[in-house]
Amino acid sequence: MKSIRITDPECCRQAWEKYWPVQDIFDLWAVRQCFNAAYKRPLSFHLIEDKGRVVGFLPLSLVEETGEYVFFPGETWKGKTWLEQNRIIAESPEVFNALCDCVPGPVNLRYLRRSPLLDSLEQVKPDETGYLFYPRIYDFSMDNFRQAFPGKTRKKLKADVKKFEVRQLIWRYNHLPDIAELFRLNMAAFTSDSYFSDARFYRSFERFAAYLRDMGMLRMTTAIVDGKIAAVDMGSVFNNTYTVVAGGTHRDFGGIAKVINLHHLEWACHNRMEAVDFLCGSFNWKERFRLSPRPSYEIHTQPGTAVFHGSRYGQKAV
């Protein structure tokens, strides 16, 4: 086997677009580039060739402050990357071993999607759990969704929405200036725990929103109550999946988060989306809404350690 390391940005882009499958919004090079432009991490893309055929691909960025290599583009916040649905591209555990062997430092891979290859790797651990809503389960009907709850819960959900409807609840869509209010509300609620307290993440999302708008994939939802912005959520629509990526709610409108989330589900049913992806994050409402959990996984390696069962991992010619 032969190993190839790529650090030139244009060559990295070409390798990504050739070898990284596109299924979700985060699989698009242009989306990741929104974050790369802000974080500016050194690139370290690795290929393994066998008899002239690429059998493994590991696109990494170096987090210089920790010395770790993480999935491109290295958009870390408090030491952890944010973009989800990453994957290992390797035809066998031995190929993944060879990929890791090429990396000149520890590797920290997060938000890995499930694959049979993970069963053979020793250092796989559970990562955070994502949550999705599948409209098809309810025959694309919100009435069917509500009927899945006990009567008392249905009444409460209806009352929660009615409380805001009588206060002149209005929905506004894809008004890009509302993203500034999303940032403000999010930072007001979470202060230093807000991703947007990091200027790099803030700028990344500004670029991300502009890209989605330009490509016709933006779904920004603003709830206006009594003439004031009560909540703003930003999402993307790609491959018939609606991904809600960020949001903010005004503290003076308690319960509006539940209402805007119900609105997302209703919109997805009406438009016959395959899924609404609310991403990871341990918010209790996701379980109360009976969303479907999707586990993710992580791998941490150190140079010279085994990464698959039976491996004699170490320096070797590839």
pLDDT tens per residue, range 28-53: 999 999 999 999 999 999 999 999 99
Q: Mean pLDDT, to the nearest integer, of 285-299?
A: 95
- Give CA–CA dist 313/278, Å, rounded: 38
Same domain, 186 and 90: no
Whether 11 shows a pLDDT value over 60: the answer reads yes
Does one domain contain both 21 and 53?
Answer: yes
Report residue 146 as tokens.
Answer: 């509500």
- Report how far apart, in Å, the C-alpha atoms of 118 and of each of 74, 90, 115, 275 are: 22, 11, 6, 25
Nearest to 243 by CA among 79, 75, 85, 115: 85
Same domain, 6 and 74: yes
By the 8 A CB rule, do 85 and 123 touch? no
CA 265 to mean position of chain CA atoms: 18
User: Given this model, what pLDDT does residue 312 score?
Assistant: 35
Q: Which among 85, 65, 5 has a CA at the least distance from the CA of 279?
A: 85
Question: In the structure, what pLDDT confidence band is assigned to residue 131 with cuts at 50, 70 and 90?
Answer: very high
The reply to whether 157 and 248 lie within a common domain is: yes
Give backbone dihedrals phi and psi of 237, rounded to 5 degrees, phi first. -120, 115
Q: Which domain holds residue 166?
A: 135-273
- 212 in the same domain as 147: yes
Confidence of residue 316 (pLDDT cuts 50, 70, 90): very low
Residues 96 and 147 grouped into a single domain:
no
Average pLDDT of the chain, as a whole number: 94
Into how many domains does the chain fold? 2
**74 HSE (CA, 13 A, CB side):** 23
Distance CA 230, CA 252 (A): 8
pLDDT of 304: 59
Same domain? 121 vs 158? no
End-to-end Cα, the chain, rounded Å: 5
Residues 106 and 139 grouped into a single domain: no
Same domain, 165 and 40: no
